Structure 1
Amino acid sequence: MTGPDLASAQAAFEAVPGYCNAATLGLPSRTTREALAAAVHEWATGTATATGYDAVVARARSLFAGLVDVPVGRVAVGSQASVAVGAVASSLPDGARVVVPAGDFTSVVFPFLVHAGRRGLVVAQVPLAGLADAVDEGCDLVAWSRVQSADGALADDTAVREAAARVGAATLCDLTQAAGWLPVRAGDYDVSVTAAYKWLCAPRGVCFTTVAPSWQERLLPTSAGWYAGEDVWGSVYGPAMALAGDARRFDVSPAWLAWAGAVPALEVFAGLDVAQVRDHDAALADAVLAGLDLPPAGRAVVTVPDPDGRALARLADAGVTAVARAGAVRLSFHLWNGPDDVERVLGALRG
């Protein structure tokens, strides 16, 4: 059986002219909107049940596992990326050395800095281009975003992983700005985290963590609660604790309505060749660069220097939704965008 094609995935969304902001907040598909409305109706009529949401969460977990090419037993669910990164930080020994890119999203960095003050973690923040070179002897962990939030820049992922393997350092990769438009394999890392409300177009409050077998016992389940139990509904009261034998032990109890919307969001991408999404998104971004006489970048995000905010204002006046990030305008293109959006952006920026 073949999976959906790009056209089918694009047709799942209603066009929102000028919306070039997937890197901040993905748009919901029609089926996501319908699922959320149905879930609210069930809640309002008293027909929703706590146990009934378990099947929804299980379906989302399975869909995500397929998308990032890992066994479903290696996937944990939660709500925020920083919670998962915080568990990794808590699992490192006192005085461990961590290397991160300077300017990475703070959910990847702050959890380690918190422990730097209390337990002596050494956090080296280095230029993204030199990340692999900084992973040397004495490095315990390298943590980075596969795609940088500020400008869409990509780390040399292979070089970083190879450097970590040479010195025995663990790898933590945030796939939030990658999964959904860039093909990824979460099994390439010891731990990965993915907030799904951007390029995967799920409601905010849906996050996934993947944990390699080598980190199953090493990672502390710092947010363990009833949903992390081997028998979820047998774990709602103490005193005994029996955590799940797989990555579910790292689950954080789900915000139910968000997960009701997550399933149809992930179904849009299930079986889809994400390389087609990459090619579509990057072609639109490169068309903007070409229109500005800039070289192509081959990625879904374009940034234009904007220290005074005038470019962002012109874009807003032209009906383009973009954001200011790190002294620049950030434009991000996804499935709902097309050539008309490129022309709208160029008309504003060249004007």
Structure 2
Amino acid sequence: MDADTVGRKSVEQLRESFDVRPGYLAACTSGVPPRQAVAALREDLDAWSAGTTTPLGYGAWAERGRAAYARLVGVDVSRVAIGSQTSVMVGMIAASLRAGSEVIVVEGDFSSMVFPFLVRDDLVVRHVPIAGLADAIGSTTALVAFSLVQSATGEIADADAIVAAARAAGARTLCDTTQAAGWMPVDAFRFDATVCHAYKWLCAPRGVALLTVSESFADELVPTAAGWYAGDDVWGSCYGPAMTLAPDARRFDVSPAWQAWVGATTSLELFAAVPAEEVRAYTGGLADTLRTRLGLPLTGSAIVTWPDATGADAAALAAAGIVASSRAGRARVAFHVWNDEREVERVCAALGRGDASDLHIPVDWAAEYGAYAI
């Protein structure tokens, strides 16, 4: 690993790592890889096709990625487990709860944070609006599960109030940081567990998810997906009948999707080197500039949404060559580090709130992406 990768970087240096075309406002749907990750993936493909890659080499990539993520969210690396999908990680936690446990989830939250609890008909699952989550936690609550930033609306949860209420009630907290990590500071240490898929704001390939878990909560969980990679001695755990799992969070590992971790680790190391407060100031500042132009309340969230029941605004954005998204009857745009003030102007012009005639999106991109919003 070169010194530039591990050294501190500025937001401007991070911005220079991306070659994203104009009008891409969909990091909340899918991030794009930094130049360094693309180079690492291409090099790996060449090595793989030549037969020079090894499982041990890919394991080293995964461990680097685990360490980078630990730095990013402020926990010791021993508290990080790796996998491929957040729903599997949430499912493990759901499967570990006692029958009859009360779980509070957010009304309208992403299904990966809801379905794993609903499939157990012996749990009491309560759906609560995000604004009332802290007040809903009581003495009967075993677990409160919520996304730090809501996917459909971009609303940022009041984590301080939720954590305080959960601690007072003796309830556990599970926080999904998928729509937060990469653009805003995340302190995973404060929660009993967090899950994150890195393919959005952390700009990784699909297939890289991470779990953080406190020591006390880990003792209550059953590693239902345990396999060879969860073993204390990974390469000594390929066959039964004996089973000795790792004593730390690695016992919840699922074996890594090898090639995905090459790109993910490169991206994770880049983001871990940039102060998250600076990224939030940049992305949230752009988003609030758009909110001001559209007459929306300022929230500081990098995701901007507004009612669009007919889909007319989403269609207008798409027709202008802007890659945005539609969720739950709302138009949705997201500002990441590769965006700048010109994107605000493009959105406003597409919605009839300004003139962006001098902000040209190449015709080929408009033709390819102008027919839909993702």
The answer as to 2:68 corresponding to 1:56 is no
Q: What residue is the counterpart of 1:143 in the other structure? A: 145
How do 1:109-120 residues align onto structure 2 when only pairs under 5 Å count?
Answer: 109-115=114-120, 117=121, 120=122
Q: Which runs of 4+ in 1 moved over 2 A?
A: none
Rounded to whole Å, the distance in 1 between the matches of 2:7 and 2:263 is 24
Report the Cα distance in structure 1 between the residues aligned to 2:199 and 2:213, rounded to whole angstroms: 21
Separation of aligned partners in 2, 1:336 and 1:83: 31
Alignment of 1:236-275 (within 5 A): 236-275=238-277
1:140-169 CA-to-partner distances (Å, cap 9, x unmatched) read 000000000001101111111011001100
In the other structure, the counterpart of 1:226 is 228
The equivalent residue for 1:33 is 38
Find 1:23's aligned residue among 10, 13, 28: 28
User: For each residue in 1:3-36, what CA deviation from the matched residue of structure 2 results, as whole angstroms up to 9, or x when unmatched?
Assistant: 1111101111113200000001011000111111
Q: Distance in 1 between matches of 2:17 and 2:50?
A: 28
Residue 96 (structure 2) pairs with residue 91 (structure 1): yes
For each residue in 1:88-128, what CA deviation from the matched residue of structure 2 results, as whole angstroms up to 9, or x when unmatched? 1011000100001100000000000011x2xx100000111
Matched, 1:201 2:203: yes
Letter matched to residue 35 of structure 1:
A
8 Å CA contact 2:79, 2:248 repeated in 1: yes
Cα distance in 1 for residues equivalent to 2:167 and 2:296:
36
Structure 1 position 78 matched with structure 2 position 83: yes
Give the distance between the partners of 1:39 and 1:241, measured in 2 at CA: 33
Deviation at 1:310, TM superposition (A): 1.4
Question: Which one of the candidate residues 132, 135, 154 is aligned to 1:133?
Answer: 135
- What is the TM-score of this pair, normalised by structure 2? 0.91
Which segment drifts farther, 291-300 or 27-36? Answer: 291-300
- Alignment of 1:4 onto 2:9: yes
What is aligned with 1:102? 107
The answer to whether the 8 A contact 1:82-1:107 is kept is: yes
Give the aligned partner of residue 289 of structure 2.
Answer: 287
Q: Is the 8 A contact 1:142 1:164 kept in 2?
A: yes
Q: Deviations over 1:211-230 (max 9, x none)?
A: 10102221110100000001
Q: Distance in 1 between matches of 2:218 and 2:156?
A: 28
Calculate the aligned-residue CA RMSD, in Å.
Answer: 1.1
The SS at the match of 2:223 is coil
- 1:337 CA drift (Å): 0.3
User: Aligned equivalents of 1:154 and 1:299: distance in 2?
Assistant: 7
Q: Do the aligned partners of 1:95 and 1:121 also contact (CA within 8 Å) in 2? A: yes
Q: Distance in 1 between matches of 2:333 and 2:48?
A: 37
Equivalent position to 1:322, from 321, 324, 334: 324
Q: Is the 8 A contact 1:12 1:268 kept in 2?
A: no
CA contact (8 A) 1:69 1:185 kept: yes
Normalised to the residue count of structure 1, the TM-score between the two structures is 0.97
Deviation of 1:288 (Å):
1.2
Match of 1:180 in 2: 182
Amino acid aligned to 2:81? A
Is the Cα–Cα contact under 8 Å of residues 20 and 32 in structure 2 kept in the other structure? no
Cα shift readout 1:293-336 (whole Å, capped 9, x = no counterpart): 23322110111211111111111111110011010111000010
Instruction: Measure the CA separation in 1 of the matches of 2:149 and 2:334.
Output: 12
Secondary structure, aligned partner of 1:252: coil
Runs of at least 5 residues in structure 1 that lack an aligned partner in the other structure: none
